[in-house]
Amino acid sequence: MIKIVKRDQPSKAIFFFTPVLAIFLTLIAGGIIFYILGFKPFEALKFFFIVPIADKYGFSELLLKATPLCLIAIGLSFCFKSNNWNIGAEGQLTFGAIVSGGVALLFYDQEGFYILPIVILAGAIGGMIYASIPAILKTYFNTNEILVSLMLVYVSKLILDYLVVGPWSNPEGFNFPETRQFSDSARLPLLFEGLRIHAGIFLALAAVVISWFVFYKTYLGFQMKVSGFSLKTAKYAGYKGKKMIILVFLISGACAGLAGVGEITGPIGQLHREVSPDYGFTAIIVAFLGRLHPVGIILASLVVAITYLGAETAQIFMQIPKYTGQVFQGMILFFLLASDYLLFFKFKFIGSKK
Amino acid sequence: MHKFLIRSFVSSLVLLFTLTVAAVAKDVKAAFVYIGPTGDHGWTYQHDVGRKAVEAAGFKTTYVEGVPESADAERVLRQLANSGHDIIFTTSFGYMNPTNKVAKEFPNVKFEHATGYKREHPNVATYAARFYEGRTILGTIAGTMTKSNVIGYVASFPIPEVIRGINSFTLAAQKVNPNIKTKIVWAFTWYDPGKEAEAAKALIDQGADVIAQHTDSTAIVQMAEKAGVYAFGQASDMDKFAPKAVLTSVENNWGPYYVDRVKAVANGTWSQKDTWHGIGDGMVVISGLDSQMPSDLQAKVKKLQADLASGKVHSFTGPIYDQKGNLMVAEGKTADDGMLAGMMTYVKGVEGDIPK
């Protein structure tokens, strides 16, 4: 007989094992789905997970796709670790892109080394401003940050719509909803000739290193951890909760804003209505799949990025509907949450002794 | 026996020859990049109908659906160009810059961009349809069928394409009924059933008894069916979604153009051009007319359709005045393509301002 017993303490080994288990289960379930749909499961999985990154170009596209996911997820981990549920990274990304894009447009006919740093800084500030709204409302008016941050996503997209359709639209562009192209000085430099991977990846790597340092080597990281376990304890210990809430939201907003900068000054080169294919939401999956650990988040962002690339390849070569990519992302999160059960419970075999 | 041998030899030669020709001609592979799902029953659905026509003509095709106009479009295009496709159709405005960028890297692959204006490289062509001709028909029907003299119009984005449609529609409606007013609601989306239905509801609440749309979902005709007002299908024949409300639909018929262009690649005759086809070339098709329309109106519509096709009637024939009463097109003149391409003012009879 098998009995389910509660663990005395969540297992540390299983904490890092379950994401791997979740990915493994997703692959199996994905193979079964492909089989039911009438595709050869192994061939489909090959086109989904191996073919897209089999060459140098494919691998550079993987890094390009993973960069914003990693950057946003690192920012979100500051919030999630300390019990602040910022669901609006997509809005912070969009607002960061708006502010930095606006600055880039000011310099559209100029060249100069000083332009790019200003544009990047503007994006970070834009994201911080936008993230401060749910933070301030939470600290001073006790509103629910999940609702506020989520709803602000739609507001930011409407602001972007308004700007690219109206005042910021390209004067030579027949009123189509897009701005002018930015000048070369406002674009992030490419790392290799012929590949799209750009200097934005260093922003993501810097965020990884800094977050690791803050989480594990500073007093702030310790405070966040305590608040994450128990808000009451944090209060009892005398931590200044309000300051921390605002701080983690600002960090998170800056990261999302920088991800927006990376998109518009990297591969896109202008503002239009679709700056991000919902990176801000997908990064939530990345943050949890990476266990809110900086290294875990790097790995998770690569795994999730490949579901995007794989979906395209699978449709081109096997006519598998592209929306399967989203099914995979959903399954990863589902299996992760399900296997978290193992964190708190264990199976005990008690059949042998009667 | 001798005869039989010769005959079989000749026939096998003929067979071999046709097979070789077929093999050479049909080696061309075409790819299509879609903004939405193939099942949207609107814009993307109709492009996919066009793709199937290319398949039926004996060519291999590939498509990728739901490609966002973000940084992802460029990767999809490059992958298609890299994997043996000879001609790539990019079917949304937002693919304009990625299309031109990738076209530069693949000079041997032909690119066809729908609704854009940039042809930066010799291997990029553009194409669009004169949907405004279809809207002249819809305006004529709406102006005749309305009782409240208020006509609702759900618009997507304030770009020349949409403004042109509103104007063409209103001019035609005024011609049969000088008292009508066109009320516009901007949905700021191409495809969002929820928002579109809300927009239609708002117009019906303001007294509109005929609703036209320049968005892609079937939500508006379904809302019209529920409210008991008339509507028109967009992009595909939407009659089956609202049999009582839909009077007719304007269908986007891309198939003939797509087959033409793919064949041109196969024959080596493809060249860059900017195509803008209307009812005459069959790119814009009017679906069957609903039996609720009186027979004299049906006859009038049929005649108008023929005259638009032959060029006898132009949707923008003067005198045309803007909202403030300034002359836009003089009597006896018609608007040229340059004016149509940049049209950003409403004609008289349209209510409200263009959002800025």
Q: Are residues B79 and A316, on separate chains, in Cβ contact within 8 Å?
A: yes
pLDDT score recorded for residue A18: 87
**Rounded to the nearest 5°, which phi and psi values hold at A166?**
-105, -105
Q: Which residue has the tokens 């921390």?
A: A244
Q: Are residues B63 and A315, on separate chains, in Cβ contact within 8 Å?
A: yes
Q: What is the mean pLDDT of chain A?
A: 91
Q: Are residues A174 and B79, on separate chains, in Cβ contact within 8 Å?
A: no
Q: Are residues A166 and B356, on separate chains, in Cβ contact within 8 Å?
A: yes
Cα pseudo-dihedral B77, B78, B81, B84, rounded to 10: -120
Residue B18 has pLDDT above 60, yes or no: no
Same domain assignment for residues B125 and B135:
no
More confident: A3 or A135: A135
Region B20-25: mean pLDDT is: 47
What would the DSSP string read from start to end of B30-86? EEEE-SS-TTSSSHHHHHHHHHHHHHHTT-EEEEE-S--SSTHHHHHHHHHHHTT-S
Same domain assignment for residues B106 and B149:
no
**Amino acid at position A125, single letter:** I
**What digits encode the pLDDT tens for the residues B203-236?**
999 999 999 999 988 999 999 999 999 999 999 9
Structural domain containing residue B78: 18-129+254-277
Question: Measuring CA to CA, how many Å separate B153 from each of B177, B183, B352?
Answer: 17, 6, 12
Same domain assignment for residues B150 and B228:
yes
Find the CATH number of the domain harbouring B143: 3.40.50.2300
The DSSP symbol for B230 reads E
**What digits encode the pLDDT tens for the residues B169-184?**
999 999 999 999 999 9
Classify B126 as helix, strand or coil: strand
Residue B252 has pLDDT above 60, yes or no: yes
Pair type for strands A2-6 and A345-349: antiparallel
Among B79, B83, B162, B192, the residue to mutate for chain A (most A Cβ within 10 A)? B79
pLDDT score recorded for residue A5: 83
Question: Measuring CA to CA, how many Å separate A54 from each of A51, A298, B263?
Answer: 5, 20, 34
Q: Residue A68 and residue A280: Cα distance in Å, rounded? A: 9
* Residues B262-284: b if buried by 16+ CB within 10 A, e if exposed: bbbbbeeebeeeebebbbeeebb
Region B127-151: mean pLDDT is: 96
Tell me the ipTM for this assembly. 0.85
| CA-wise closest residue to A242 among A258, A261, A223 | A223
Residue B289 lies in a domain: no
With a CB cutoff of 8 Å and minimum separation 6, the contacts of B127 are B112, B113, B114, B257, B274, B275, B276, B277
Q: Does B342 touch chain A (CB under 8 A)?
A: yes
- Whether the upstream peptide bond of residue A167 has omega within 30° of 0, thus cis, is no
Q: Does B84 touch chain A (CB under 8 A)?
A: no
Identify all chain B residues contacting A181, using CB atoms and an 8 Å cutoff: 97
Using 50, 70 and 90 to split pLDDT, how confident is the model at B13? low
Same domain assignment for residues B155 and B244:
yes
Q: Does B205 touch chain A (CB under 8 A)?
A: no
pLDDT score recorded for residue B20: 47
Using 50, 70 and 90 to split pLDDT, how confident is the model at B113? very high
Q: Are residues A181 and B97, on separate chains, in Cβ contact within 8 Å?
A: yes
Q: Does A312 touch chain B (CB under 8 A)?
A: yes
Q: Are residues A263 and B71, on separate chains, in Cβ contact within 8 Å?
A: yes
Tokens of A198: 């750009």
Same domain assignment for residues B112 and B240:
no
Residue B66 lies in a domain: yes
Q: Where are the domains of chain A?
A: 2-349
Q: Does A272 touch chain B (CB under 8 A)?
A: yes
What would the DSSP string read from start to end of A88-131? -HHHHHHHHHHHHHHHHHHTTT---TTHHHHHHHHHHHHHHHHH
Query: C-alpha angle A41/A44/A48, rounded to 5°?
Result: 135
Residue B25 has pLDDT above 70, yes or no: no
Q: Does A273 touch chain B (CB under 8 A)?
A: yes
Using 50, 70 and 90 to split pLDDT, how confident is the model at A346? confident
Q: Is the dihedral of CA A107, A111, A114, A118 positive or negative?
A: positive
Using 50, 70 and 90 to split pLDDT, how confident is the model at A166? confident
Residue B24 has pLDDT above 70, yes or no: no
Residue B105 lies in a domain: yes
pLDDT score recorded for residue A282: 95
| CA-wise closest residue to A25 among A343, A348, A330, A344 | A330
Pair type for strands B87-90 and A345-349: unpaired
Same domain assignment for residues B180 and B271:
no
Residue B146 lies in a domain: yes
Q: Are residues B65 and A321, on separate chains, in Cβ contact within 8 Å?
A: yes
pLDDT score recorded for residue B12: 56
The counts of H helices and E strands in chain B are 11, 14
Q: Which residue has the tokens 């199937």?
A: B52
Ramachandran area for residue B64 (φ above 0: left; ψ -120 to 50: alpha; else beta): beta
pLDDT score recorded for residue B102: 95
Identify all chain B residues contacting A316, using CB atoms and an 8 Å cutoff: 31, 62, 64, 76, 79-80, 83
**Amino acid at position A55, single letter:** D
Q: Does A263 touch chain B (CB under 8 A)?
A: yes
Using 50, 70 and 90 to split pLDDT, how confident is the model at A354? very low
Residue B188 lies in a domain: yes
Residue A248 has pLDDT above 60, yes or no: yes
CATH topology of domain A2-349: ABC transporter involved in vitamin B12 uptake, BtuC (1.10.3470)
Question: Measuring CA to CA, how many Å separate B106 from each of A76, B63, B81?
Answer: 40, 19, 7
Same domain assignment for residues B161 and B241:
yes
Q: Does A316 touch chain B (CB under 8 A)?
A: yes
| CA-wise closest residue to B238 among B276, B196, B281 | B196
Same domain assignment for residues B150 and B224:
yes
Identify all chain A residues contacting B75, using CB atoms and an 8 Å cutoff: 61, 196, 309, 312
Q: Are A132 and A296 in contact (CB under 8 A)?
A: no
Q: Is the dihedral of CA B101, A69, A145, A100 positive or negative?
A: negative
Q: Residue A123 and residue A75: Cα distance in Å, rounded? A: 14
Alpha carbons within 13 angstroms on the beta-carbon side of residue B146 total 29
Beta-carbon pairs below 8 A across chains A and B:
82
Q: What is the mean pLDDT of chain B?
A: 91
Same domain assignment for residues B182 and B322:
yes
Tokens of A242: 């309000």
Residue B299 lies in a domain: no
Residues 99-138 of chain A with CB under 8 A from chain B are none
- Chain B: nearest CA to A325, how far in angstroms? 11
pLDDT score recorded for residue B26: 53
**What digits encode the pLDDT tens for the residues B60-72?**
999 999 999 989 9
Tokens of B65: 């659906």
Identify the helix (H) or strand (E) that includes residue B212.
strand B210-213
Classify A86 as helix, strand or coil: coil
Q: Are A191 and A267 in contact (CB under 8 A)?
A: no
Same domain assignment for residues B47 and B172:
no
Q: Is the dihedral of CA A245, A248, A253, A256 positive or negative?
A: negative
Using 50, 70 and 90 to split pLDDT, how confident is the model at B2? low
- Chain A: nearest CA to B119, how far in angstroms? 13
Same domain assignment for residues B170 and B44:
no
Number of domains in chain B: 2
**What digits encode the pLDDT tens for the residues B234-243?**
999 999 999 9
